[in-house]
Amino acid sequence: MLTHPIPPVFDEQSRVLILGSFPSVKSREIQFFYGHPQNRFWRVLPALFGETAGETPAQKTAFLLRHNIALWDVIASCEIEGSADSSIANAVPNDLSRILETARITQIFTNGKTADRLYRRHLLAATGIEAVCLPSTSPANAAWTVERLLSAWQAVADALV
């Protein structure tokens, strides 16, 4: 059983919450979200705002907070083989209450179908906030080009207007 090693990114100004499933092996190694170089998250999200997020976790955190975006994962602990979402078993959800009590979250987005399924199963009843499922930025979702991802993920920028 692995425990989620990365704290959530959020502050009082956060209005949108993006939830992944569980950190990849690479993300667990570097102790920050979407650490695999082939994951398109850090290309897609900053492109929506016409900027880059930087390279370091501190720079990426500053980018998220500057744009009122909170970031975390649905799962607090689980059994998982490598980084494969399809292998997740015995998932225990994160408690989102400290984010929702601190920030003014008006929209929750899930990064991919697994995060969405787990959110609906474990957290929707507690939050009462319907999530919008966005296509996964994972390299395993190769059918989605960066251009297609940008089009779908535009919903995040639109929710912040």
CATH number reported for the structural domain that contains residue 58 in this entry: 3.40.470.10
pLDDT tens column, 91-117: 999 999 999 999 999 999 999 999 999
pLDDT band at 86 (very low <50, low <70, confident <90, very high): confident
- Told to judge if 68 belongs to the known catalytic residues of this protein, a careful annotator would answer no
Does the pLDDT of residue 129 top 90, yes or no?
yes
Counting the structural domains of the chain, the total is 1
Task: Kindly report the pTM of this predicted structure.
Answer: 0.96
* Structural domain harbouring 124: 2-159
Q: What is the pLDDT of residue 85?
A: 83
Residue from 39, 68, 94, 111 carrying the catalytic annotation:
39
Per-residue CA distances from 4 to 33, 37, 42, 95, 155 (Å): 11, 20, 20, 12, 27
Contacts of 80 (CB under 8 A, 6+ apart): 2, 22, 87, 88, 89
pLDDT higher at 89 or 82:
89
